[in-house]
């Protein structure tokens, strides 16, 4: 699937890719301003991504400017793919964009923080997301940086999946950024059940205007399943709508 949908790229697109793909490892580089300790950064990330606030912001905004292939759109959600990535071409970058009208919470008034906490506060998330079996903060490094373990429930014949990710969250110009990716497996050894998922890139950006809350989510995973990615995309619109509807109902009652 990785190479089946490639499109012609403009010179500007190529420059965006090369900006990251041509970074080389420098043994004398100063990593002291990285938001994560080097032990949490995988080898395939170290020569591609600059793990500073500025570096991650630049990466995220660069990915958001790329030309994605639209797969689904209605009045509230949009799903598209990018069959090209700075880390691997074996798995698609999947982008899910959602618009949540503030009128859905009427007559109550809800803030952007309410939406963010509904998604990322572990106690709140476990109350409404029945896909989640476990969320644990393994290491709370500081107020913006942590190591998070998430385990999904088994569904029919699909075993539970586990991710152990480094997470960094910050605000910039009233926009909330959340960046996560898997840490090296040797820090917390994987087991056969749950199956360890590799999170290459997991990005969530949230913001608001007078009428709506907005979510822009860009993810690239190896979920360790022998299922074509095109098949998985077929169920994604329904799952995304269900996610948003359950989130809204939870926030309304909080």
Q: What is the pLDDT of residues 102-122, one digit of tens each?
A: 999 999 899 999 999 999 999
Rounded Cα distance, 226 and 190, in Å: 19
Per-residue buried b or exposed e for 51-83, using 16+ beta carbons within 10 Å of the residue's own CB: bebebbeebbeebeebebeebeeeebbbbbbbb
Per-residue pLDDT of the chain (254 residues; tens, 9 = 90+): 323 332 333 444 444 444 444 444 455 667 889 999 999 999 999 989 999 999 999 999 999 999 999 999 999 999 999 988 889 999 999 999 999 999 999 998 999 999 999 999 999 999 999 999 999 999 999 999 999 999 999 877 678 999 999 999 999 999 999 999 999 999 999 988 899 999 999 999 999 999 999 999 999 999 998 878 888 899 999 999 999 999 999 999 98
Ranges of each domain in the chain? 64-253
CB 203 within 8 A of CB 167: no
CATH 3.40.50.620, applies to 64-253? no
């Amino acid at each position: 699937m990785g190479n089946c949908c490639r499109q012609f790229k403009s010179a500007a697109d190529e420059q965006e890719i090369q900006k990251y793909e041509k970074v080389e490892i420098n043994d004398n580089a100063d990593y002291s301003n990285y938001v994560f300790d080097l032990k949490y950064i995988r080898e395939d990330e170290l020569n591609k991504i600059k793990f500073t606030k500025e570096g991650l912001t630049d990466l995220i905004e660069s990915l958001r400017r790329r030309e994605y292939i639209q797969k689904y759109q209605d009045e509230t959600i949009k799903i598209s793919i990018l069959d090209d990535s700075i880390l691997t071409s074996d798995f698609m970058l999947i982008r899910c964009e959602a618009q949540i009208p503030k009128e859905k919470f009427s007559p109550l008034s809800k803030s952007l923080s309410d939406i963010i906490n509904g998604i990322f506060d572990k106690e709140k998330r476990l109350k409404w997301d029945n896909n989640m079996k476990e969320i644990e903060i393994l290491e709370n490094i500081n107020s913006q940086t942590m190591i998070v373990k998430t385990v999904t429930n088994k569904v029919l014949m699909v075993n539970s999946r586990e991710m152990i990710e480094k997470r960094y969250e910050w605000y910039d110009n009233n926009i909330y950024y959340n960046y996560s990716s898997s840490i090296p497996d040797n820090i917390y050894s994987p087991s056969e059940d749950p199956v360890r998922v590799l999170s290459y890139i997991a990005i969530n950006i949230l913001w608001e205007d007078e009428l709506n809350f907005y979510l822009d989510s860009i993810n690239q995973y190896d979920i360790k399943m022998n299922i074509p990615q095109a098949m998985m995309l077929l169920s994604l619109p329904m799952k995304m709508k269900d996610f948003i509807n359950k989130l809204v109902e939870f926030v309304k009652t909080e």
